[in-house]
Structure 1
Amino acid sequence: MRFSRRHPLFVAVVLCASVIVVARPTVAEGDGGGVPGTHSEEGVSARVARLFEEAAVATRRYEAGRQAAEAQKTKARRLEKLLARERKQIAVLNADLGRIARAQYREGGGVPYTAQMLFAENPEELMRGRRAAWQADLAVNNAVSKSRRAETRLAADEAKAARAWRALEEWKTGLSGVKQTIQQKLEEAQWTLQGQADAAVAAGACRGAVRLDQPDDGRSRAWVAPVATYELSAGYGSGGERWVSRHTGQDFAVPIGAPVRAVGEGRVVKVSCGGAFGMEIVVEHADGYYTQYAHLAAVTVDQGDRVTAGQWIGQAGTTGNSTGPHLHFEVRVTPELGSGVDPVPWLRKHGVEL
């Protein structure tokens, strides 16, 4: 793949790419004593949260690298046409050199000037001939210089393009490696966290709130979705073998450890571990409704705590009656099961579109 050296934007992009590779995110290491398998619950939860952030950064950088590569491919095709045009121009110049040389030969350009003076019958005619020969020589010299400059420029273009393309490929490879490393560490930490959650649920006793640093996202909305990034799965009222009658909430497919947010301001009225919902939280809101967050892998609040909209109150998991990582979210008119309403229109009424 080739590029023209007359387009400095490509080099600037590659230099930026190199900076990104150097400034790759630091992968969080074990923070619960440093010995594998001995992390405290709080240490693993914090590690998962940090790795989620680093994975998001790595994904954004990798996506930026992929888009840059696609843009360069498009640019490469355009610049390849310019280089092809340069080659055609060089071929035309070489043809011109041959034509001029042949013309000089036919017009006596190879006869010594002294001999031409001896045999000339008309000095004025001789001078006109010499002037024409001088102009022809000048044309030849100009054509030769132009051809050499074009060939030099073409060689420089191709060399610079090769270096730039190699740098871009190394950049993409580096970003891919960073992303893969973080994902591997994240997966390991996720299942460690889930194992601790399963043990707590089996014992029927939560270990207490895991205090995580809250995101500095400038929360200003009164109501938000319970998770930031998700895919909707089982909805309210749907049927299924794992439910006694109908599904009582809305499920959000998210990975283990994904931060779970309070949808609105309220007070935590229940934190429990055990039973079909596994690890769960129930929050009472000022309008008299209650929201439930179930199948968690960790909780970051205690019963009685006040929470705000968007505050991290737990981490998603797959505890209890669950077939895979997700958040089970309910809206109720009482704190207890059996009083649920459809969460989707309820959230929509509060300005939250899923």
Structure 2
Amino acid sequence: MRPSRRHPLLVPVLLCALALLAAGPTAAKGDAGDPGGLSAEVVRLFEKASATTQRYEAGRRKAEVQRAHAQRLERLLARERRNVAVLHGDLGRMAREQYRSGGGLSYTAQLLLADSPDELMRGQRAVWQADLAVNNAVTKSHRAEARLTADEAKAAKAWQALKRRNVRLAEMKQGIERRLEKAQSTLQGQADASVAAGACRGAVRLDQPETGSTAAWVAPLETYKLSAGFGTGGEHWASRHTGQDFAVDIGTPVRSVGKGRVVKVSCGGPFGIEAVVRHAGGYYTQYAHLATVAVDQGERVTTGQWIGQSGTSGNSTGPHLHFEVRLTPYHGSGVDPVRWLAERGARL
């Protein structure tokens, strides 16, 4: 009996399918379709931008101090210039006085013209004193001029160094911001593709820094600006706003407000990419419009643990985190998240 040749590629195809199934929903880190490496890069760029901004601000504060110092130097320099002018005037006055008093006469002429030894001594003493005063004035003038020149050079050098440093920092900051903007755009593009497909790419694992916080409850973001609040009206939702919005950039790490278990990870619908966490006491928190999720459904999380990155997926008008506190895991059972967190010691 002749063997069948109708499906010569069936075995390799099945093996490939089994390999893909075994790999699970999370793609390998660094893969072109996986935002893992990109997500970490966004976080790194946030950190670099923050560090550079701090250095830039420190430089700006130093510039203010240097400006005040330079203004003091300018006042001192103006006074030194006036002193030099006075010294020059004194020298001119002394020269004219010597000329009128005969200070330029030779010792022999003074000896011949003197009526007595006492008069000769007095005249000689006056000449010596005048010469000493002139010499002292000349020395003082030269020192003042040298100090003036040195102070002017010092002030100019300090200003130039500070200016060059701030220019370098500004260029560095702009470069980081350009890279961050490009990475954020790519990250959000991947998020939009996930929402359109209605399928999550899998958890993106991020290396979270040690915070050292012992608080039981925290805000969902470390730094933020509050925007639309709970219960407010608006044209972008059906009746009343059901949560608290936090205006932040795409890729900002979002953290769980307390310990609990992830009961839902979704990448479709009006909330875009979202995660829901169940906490002790039967309360649920929702984190919506994300760019990525960093946890899997069923996973336990700790207070402050990064569970995703903010974005603008789903029905969103701009980058922000939509945060809700609910009595159930479902929409429509929300309570005021600001008051709820404040009752637990986490004031926004």
Opposite residue 86 of structure 2, the aligned amino acid is V
Report the counterpart of residue 4 of structure 2 in structure 1.
Answer: none
Structure-2 residue corresponding to 1:6: none
1:299 matched to 2:287: no
- TM-score if structure 2 supplies the norm length? 0.89
Match among 240, 247, 265 for residue 259 of structure 2: 265
* CA distance in structure 2 between the aligned counterparts of 1:240 and 1:92, rounded to whole angstroms: 74
1:344 corresponds to: 338
Q: Are residues 1:252 and 2:246 paired?
A: yes
Match for 1:164: what amino acid? A
Is 1:50 the counterpart of 2:37? The answer is: no
Matched, 1:142 2:160: no
What does residue 21 of structure 1 align with? Answer: none
CA deviation map 1:76-125 (0-9, x unaligned): 22221111000011111111111111222222211111111122211111
Aligned-partner residue type, residue 146 of structure 2:
T
Structure 2 counterpart of 1:16: none
Name the amino acid aligned to 1:249. Answer: G
SS in 2 for 1:58: helix
Q: 1:269 & 1:149 partners in 2: Cα distance?
A: 81
Q: How far apart, CA to CA, are the structure 2 residues paired with 1:297 and 1:280?
A: 9
CA deviation vs aligned residue, 1:220-257 (integer Å, no higher than 9, x gap) = 21111101111111111112222122111000011100
Task: Specify which of 73, 98, 105 is matched with residue 104 of structure 1.
Answer: 98
Q: Give the 3 Å change call, closer, same or farther, for CA 242–120 of structure 1 in structure 2.
A: closer
- What displacement does 1:219 show? 2.2
Residue in structure 1 matched with residue 156 of structure 2 by the alignment: 162
2:231 to 214, 226, 237: 237
The separation in 1 between residues aligned to 2:313 and 2:170, in whole angstroms, is 32
Unaligned runs of 5+ in 2: 1-28
Tell me what 1:72 maps to: 66
- TM-score of the superposition, structure 1-length normalised? 0.88
Q: Which residue of 1 aligns with 2:75?
A: 81
CA–CA separation in structure 2 for the residues paired with 1:255 and 1:121? 99
Q: Could you tell me how far apart the structure 2 residues matched to 1:304 and 1:297 are?
A: 20
Runs (5+) with no aligned partner, structure 1? 1-30
- Report the 3-state secondary structure (helix = DSSP H, G, I; strand = E; otherwise coil) of the residue aligned with 1:126: helix
Distance (Å, rounded) in 1 between the aligned partners of 2:323 and 2:104: 96
Query: Aligned partner of 1:294: which letter?
Result: A
Instruction: From 309, 312, 322, give the equivalent of 1:318.
Output: 312
Q: Partner residue of 2:280? A: 286
Q: Which runs of 4+ in 1 moved over 2 A?
A: none
How many angstroms does 1:213 deviate by?
0.2
For residue 6 of structure 2, what is the aligned residue in structure 1?
Answer: none
Displacement of 1:271 = 0.8
Considering only aligned residues, what root-mean-square deviation do their CA atoms show, in Å? 1.3
Task: Tell me the equivalent position of 2:326.
Answer: 332
Q: Counterparts of 1:39 and 1:218 in 2: how far apart (Å)?
A: 34
CA displacement at 1:39 relative to structure 2: 6.2
SS in 2 for 1:275: coil
Aligned partner of 2:24 in structure 1 is none
Pairing 1:172–2:174 present: no
Q: Give 1:75 deviation, angstroms.
A: 1.9
SS of match in other structure, 2:147: helix
Counterpart position of 2:88: 94
Q: Partner amino acid for 2:94?
A: I
Give the conservation status (yes or no) of the 8 Å contact 2:283–2:325.
Answer: yes
Which one-letter code corresponds to 1:152 in the other structure?
A
Aligned partner (choices 214, 217, 221) of residue 220 of structure 1 = 214
**1:195 aligned onto 2:189:** yes
> Rg larger in 1 or in 2?
2
Q: Does 1:132 align with 2:133?
A: no
